[in-house]
Structure 1
Amino acid sequence: MARKLLTLVIAAVLVATVLPSTAAGHQSRVRGIPGTAELSPDAKTAAWQRLQFGLFIHWGIYSELGGVWQGKPVTKGYSEQIRMWANIPEADYRTVANGLRADRFDPAAICALAKQAGMRYVVITSKHHDGFAMFGTATTDYDIVDATAYGKDPVKLLADECRRQGLGFGVYFSLVDWHQGHAFDGDNNNPVPASMEPVIEGQLRELMSGYGEISEVWFDMSSPTRAQSEKFAGIVRRLQPKAAVNSRIWNNTGDFRTLGDNEIPAVALDGTWQTPASIYHETWGYRSWQKREDLPGKIRDLVVGLAGVRARGGNYLLNIGPRGDGSVVEFETDVLRGIGDWQRRHPGAVLGASATKFGGQPWGEATVNGKDLYLHVTHWPATGELRLPGLATDVVRVDEDGAGRLDWQRDGDDLVVRLPALPRDTVLPVVKVRLAGELRIIPRNTVTADRVWQLDSTDFEQGYSYADNGSYPTTRRTVVRQTANLVAGRPQVAYATFHGQAEKDSRYRVSLGGVARVVTGAALTSRAIGPFVVLPRQVTPLTITKAAPAHQGEPLGLRLDSAVVAR
């Protein structure tokens, strides 16, 4: 009884300090939750998230071939893997390497182009599946310094130029290596034999030691053991403690999850993640016979991809494939410039903006930058009306960004904006909403009750992530969080009772109203959890996560059928 009384006293104090003012203007009758998606609590990973948008470069011996072998286009597979798809003998492939001059590789121009596009970092292929190192290495003479007419280290040149121009720098590194002994495998799912480990370790130490500060290390493919994943990632972390490691080191040992090629998630994801995208989905390496058409449509598609990924909290890494001589394809240059032009027309809408908790809307996506809420309208409503549900913050004004003011009104907690018949920006129009304060929202699954909340599974929002069992084919989407949002008419102490099935020996964190309780799975589904404080006239999230997950994608392991929150 004393504990409950103390909790009520605390609740009363909190009520006095957090209830919203209703003195002027529109105010939601309910105070919403913060609407900005948080960055990772880990400083290194949060710094990587702030990079937001980067340039990926696939360049190697395969670029010299341009997707053609013996005079014929190789139409199967990505062109950077042409040696496998065309079954090219290594002796013939080495002959191609001997002729690589790369005399038009211009790091300064590449970095300037990346900055013009609004990118903040550059990642280049240091070694792809063919095993040919595009950097100087003592582990083999199968590298650009020793085996080509170029004779320089382009990775070093690019790393130095990135620093001069204020860009982050990263390297792609394939764990598949046909030169070191991996057999051709259409899925690139080869295990890493022990005999290959010294070369991998040696090359990683070289890359992590001789190229200045590294922002990102992008491993790719193969199916290493957990011990190998930890060993290779450990080299990076010892030598480059600020570098973020992607999930294709496998066995859930990376710092962020790399999604599938060109994948934009259908649902918002918890944790840190990245979409790797290519200007042409058909290939990453240069393809001489690639169709390059509809420049405005290509710019629009990629701007929509960028806005969608950023609105959902991911980083966007967009690829170009230079020719064998190192020159950037003119069409790709024009695409990057077009993306940059759009960003300059809408400063703050993507770069520097944060993801929001609105989720995808029928008309598009939303980002926020301070008190400016940006609505990226991918589908211009034919009705002339754009509706944003659940906005709990006062609105000062609304503009079509770059084109002037728009009429708007409130419909409960919805913002309704009147749009012209056609937008000014034909790439991706943006509606800019100036807010009176911090962004707060009323989630769609908010449940209001006075004393007792009877919740079923549909009242809970799932938080999603990804996990793998050591390879690309084993990657799967996981549920890592369950959240219901409660609103009360009066302050009260409450207990939560859950019905369903949990991993009985796992430890779960149940959070409600700023208070967290850690219980076993057995206790979670067998007894009331609490006490908690539910404050009046504000959304109070009830959230279940693993108390100490092994990695951000570890499955919650909870089937939740229903729940009751009551005194």
Structure 2
Amino acid sequence: MQLTIAKAQAPAPDLTWFREAKFGLFLHWGLYSQTAGDWNGHPAKGGEHFMLYERIPVKTYTTIANDFNPVKFNADEWVRQAKATGMKYIVYTTKHHDGFAMYNSAVSDYNIVKQTPFKKDPLAELAVACKKYDIKLCLYYSLGRDWEDPDVPTNWPVKAGRSNTWDYPNEDAKVFNRYFERKVKPQIKELLSNYGPIGVLWFDTPELISKKESAELRALVAQLQPQCLVNSRIGGGYGDFSISEQTLDASSKKAWEACITIGKNWGYSRHDSTWKSAEMLVRNLIDVVANNGNLLLNVGPMGNGAFPNWAVKRLDTIGAWMKINQEAITGTSPFRIPAEGYSKETAKTDDKNTMKDAVHDATPKSTKADVFFTTKGKTVYALLRSWKSQSVWLKSLNGMPVQAISLLGSRKKITWQQTTDGVVITLPADFSKTNLIPIYTLKIDLK
């Protein structure tokens, strides 16, 4: 019997934990991590999408699994790192566009347990670690792209634009529903049945899924785990929150999430050498949270299972900042305005780059000093981004009944004066020593 429950009939899962979490870790890990940006002795085109751009046959691509033995994989270390960074959930890639399952799937032998010398199920270990550290386990699943399956047509940016046409050249013979019934639904059942509570099913690239199929998939999720959220990429308007990819622009006035990379790529590449600083990443986090969203920050683990050193360094610095300032992030709500002194930046992109779904970054690059706001109860937090001045003038607090002001991370008294034009604040002379990066939080208690 098919599940065809309508959106209006399905019980709505509780979004509270997601709205309060604010910060999560995205993990892109697969066979593409093993090749690390190379193919046949040259830098591969397309990043983690190189199977498509290099037009690699499934039979050939599968040989990468022979060398994929991530002996340094440690689920406890991964999740502990997320916890120490101030993150509340992780999103793990169970199946990317190459169709290779990064868990023990009984549906298809095309998976990490059956095809690699590793022979272990990393997702089972992640589930245990997430429970241990009270981190929500969420799962990524490529929905409308699967280059291993013969029945997955695509239409972006043109007909067959993201299809495997070298193994399966007859695009018109492909029937999405055959793939949907044979692989998608059975694997979703596995994921929601074998690994405990799942916070989010993070679908990607709906492509040619029909609204009816999206509704059926949503109903399947509701049946197996009623409180599991799904993102908007399930298709058909059935998502609980929307996605902004590689941009900080809010994609919804309701629940939304920005997913961004630290470097250029989602998956690990040895050629990636342009990384956002910890200061820039915290600026991004603040921008998103002040605008009522969540930030999902991506790390691509290496083929051996370890996080790259440059990623760990940035996560550790963010964690040190969060240890002092987390109360201004987690569990907060937007203020009446998100920021002052902020000039919205239009990020420039390379028009010659056609890989908009691979290497693409439209996040801000400016480190101009400005102030963003969050709130919690009767407290307003003023987050001073890339701040150097000892003086702060908060015009947005004009007319508000300020009772006390303190600087998170400092025990020194803050001098402030309320005027008809807002609140003028003087920071301690050594305020810059409170954080490893020049972003500071004023805690403003209202009467």
TM normalised by structure 2 equals 0.81
CA distance in 1, matches of 2:251, 2:233: 21
Alignment of 1:166-245 (within 5 A): 166-175=134-143, 176-181=145-150, 182=152, 187=157, 193-198=176-181, 199-223=183-207, 224-245=209-230
Distance 1:94 1:431, change over 3 A: closer
CA distance in 2, matches of 1:42, 1:391: 39
Question: For residues 488-534 of structure 1, what are the alpha-carbon distances to aligned partners after superposition, in whole Å with 9 as ceiling and x for unaligned?
Answer: xxxxxxxxxxxxxxxxxxxxxxxxxxxxxxxxxxxxxxxxxxxxxxx
Alignment of 1:120-159 (within 5 A): 120-159=88-127
Say whether residues 1:332 and 2:314 are aligned partners.
no
Distance 1:185 1:65, change over 3 A: farther
Question: For residues 382-402 of structure 1, what are the alpha-carbon distances to aligned partners after superposition, in whole Å with 9 as ceiling and x for unaligned?
Answer: 694422325443112323333
Q: 1:364 is matched with which residue?
A: 371
Between 1:383-392 and 1:332-341, the stretch displaced more is: 383-392
CA distance in 2, matches of 1:60, 1:131: 10
Secondary structure of 2:278 counterpart = helix
Is the Cα contact below 8 Å between 1:189 and 1:222 reproduced in 2? no
Secondary structure of 2:328 counterpart = coil
CA distance in 1, matches of 2:138, 2:418: 46
Alignment of 1:420-439 (within 5 A): 424=432, 425=435, 427-437=437-447
Say whether residues 1:60 and 2:17 are aligned partners.
no
5+ long unaligned stretches in structure 2: 1-10, 164-173, 342-369
CA distance in 2, matches of 1:59, 1:239: 26
Question: For residues 393-441 of structure 1, what are the alpha-carbon distances to aligned partners after superposition, in whole Å with 9 as ceiling and x for unaligned?
Answer: 311232333343333222336223245788514624324233233xxxx
Q: Which of 401, 410, 417 is equivalent to 1:394?
A: 401
Q: Which of 302, 309, 313 is equivalent to 2:281?
A: 302
Secondary structure of 1:137 counterpart = coil
CA distance in 2, matches of 1:121, 1:257: 17
Say whether residues 1:262 and 2:230 are aligned partners.
no
Q: How big is the shift at 1:355?
A: 2.4
Is the Cα contact below 8 Å between 1:374 and 1:430 reproduced in 2? no
Q: 2:41 is matched with which residue?
A: 71
More strand by share: 1
Question: For residues 110-141 of structure 1, what are the alpha-carbon distances to aligned partners after superposition, in whole Å with 9 as ceiling and x for unaligned?
Answer: 11111110111111000000000111112211
Q: Which of 261, 266, 269 is equivalent to 1:287?
A: 269
Secondary structure of 1:359 counterpart = strand
Q: How big is the shift at 1:236?
A: 1.3
Q: Which of 242, 253, 256 is equivalent to 1:273?
A: 256
CA distance in 1, matches of 2:96, 2:251: 31
Say whether residues 1:116 and 2:99 are aligned partners.
no
Distance 1:101 1:370, change over 3 A: same
The one-letter code of the counterpart of 1:310 is: V
Secondary structure of 1:44 counterpart = coil
Q: How big is the shift at 1:147?
A: 1.0
Distance 1:174 1:341, change over 3 A: same
Secondary structure of 2:310 counterpart = helix
Distance 1:367 1:268, change over 3 A: farther
TM normalised by structure 1 equals 0.64
Alignment of 1:524-543 (within 5 A): none
Aligned residues: 389
CA distance in 1, matches of 2:59, 2:251: 47
5+ long unaligned stretches in structure 1: 1-40, 438-567
Is the Cα contact below 8 Å between 2:388 and 2:438 reproduced in 1? no
Q: 1:542 is matched with which residue?
A: none
Q: How big is the shift at 1:287?
A: 0.3
Q: 2:351 is matched with which residue?
A: none
CA distance in 2, matches of 1:247, 1:429: 32
Say whether residues 1:405 and 2:419 are aligned partners.
no
More helix by share: 2
Q: Which of 324, 328, 336 is equivalent to 1:349?
A: 328
Secondary structure of 1:274 counterpart = strand
Distance 1:245 1:184, change over 3 A: closer
Distance 1:73 1:184, change over 3 A: farther
CA distance in 2, matches of 1:253, 1:375: 35
Distance 1:212 1:192, change over 3 A: farther
Question: For residues 254-278 of structure 1, what are the alpha-carbon distances to aligned partners after superposition, in whole Å with 9 as ceiling and x for unaligned?
Answer: 000111x22112x695211111121
Q: 1:484 is matched with which residue?
A: none
CA distance in 2, matches of 1:382, 1:319: 32
Answer with 1 or 2: which has the greater Rg: 1
Secondary structure of 1:397 counterpart = strand
Distance 1:240 1:413, change over 3 A: farther
CA distance in 1, matches of 2:428, 2:156: 51
Distance 1:422 1:386, change over 3 A: farther
Secondary structure of 2:110 counterpart = coil
Q: Which of 291, 301, 306 is equivalent to 1:312?
A: 291
Secondary structure of 2:279 counterpart = helix
The one-letter code of the counterpart of 2:315 is: L
CA distance in 2, matches of 1:234, 1:126: 20
Task: Let me know the Cα RMSD of the aligned residues.
Answer: 2.5
